[in-house]
Amino acid sequence: MSPARELLTVPNLLSLLRLAGVPVFLWLLLGPREDEWALALLVFGGFTDWLDGKLARLLNQTSRVGQILDPAADRLYIMTALLAFLLRDIVPTSIVLTLFAREVAVGVALLVLRRAGFAPPEVTYVGKAATFTLMYALPLLLITKGDSAFAEAARPFAFAFTVWGAVLYLWSAALYVWQVASAVVGRRGG
């Protein structure tokens, strides 16, 4: 399948739509502070994240492009939301720095892996669970910024999902770095 044709599948178009929503999401949070619209866009992004995976399998439209676009959109939403939430005092600096450090560690591991001539390893269940958990945490964190009874009720769930998602995110990074180190050391030893 040609690269252009591979790009123009329903799941990949949904991923591209999610990617296009990232700057709009950031602008809504930091510009006019339209939290309700930002929340709607975040929920839409989470729904299309789930939907593109389901459609890729259902329509037999899985592709290498989709395997790059989908996690890229997830990471951009997570990192963008965390940055905006940090600037708006919704999450503590320690959470943001920890999750950003995770991204740097995984990025370096990926560069080492590519330099050694390996393809990236498959996404792990822990990594998927981490992303899923953080995608629940982010809208809940945004909801907690309000002063309604619903915002108050959402607060413990938001922080629980955030902590659990961060732990899973770090665990998935450790697994990823371990896979990379094992592959590179194994190649040198073999």
- What is residue 190's predicted lDDT score, i.e. its pLDDT? 57
Q: Closest by alpha carbon to 186, among 85, 118, 95, 126?
A: 118
In the chain, % of residues over pLDDT 90: 58
Q: How far apart are CA 172 and CA 84, in angstroms?
A: 24
Q: Tell which wins on pLDDT, 22 or 184.
A: 22
Same domain for 159 and 122?
Answer: yes
The burial class, CB within 10 Å (0-12 / 13-18 / 19+), for 129 is middle
Same domain for 84 and 137?
Answer: no
| Predicted confidence band of residue 17 (pLDDT cuts 50, 70, 90) | very high
What's the whole-number mean pLDDT along residues 128-139?
A: 91
- What is residue 133's predicted lDDT score, i.e. its pLDDT? 94
- What is residue 122's predicted lDDT score, i.e. its pLDDT? 79
Q: How far apart are CA 79 and CA 14, in angstroms?
A: 19
Q: Is the pLDDT of residue 172 over 90?
A: yes
Same domain for 80 and 146?
Answer: no
**H or E stretch covering 102:** helix 93-115
Of 89, 114, 145, at which residue does a domain stop?
89
Same domain for 48 and 114?
Answer: no
Of 89, 114, 131, at which residue does a domain stop?
89
Domain region containing 186: 90-190
Same domain for 59 and 43?
Answer: yes
In the chain, % of residues over pLDDT 70: 96
Residue-wise pLDDT tens digits, 60-116: 988 888 888 888 888 898 899 999 999 999 999 999 999 999 989 988 998 998 898
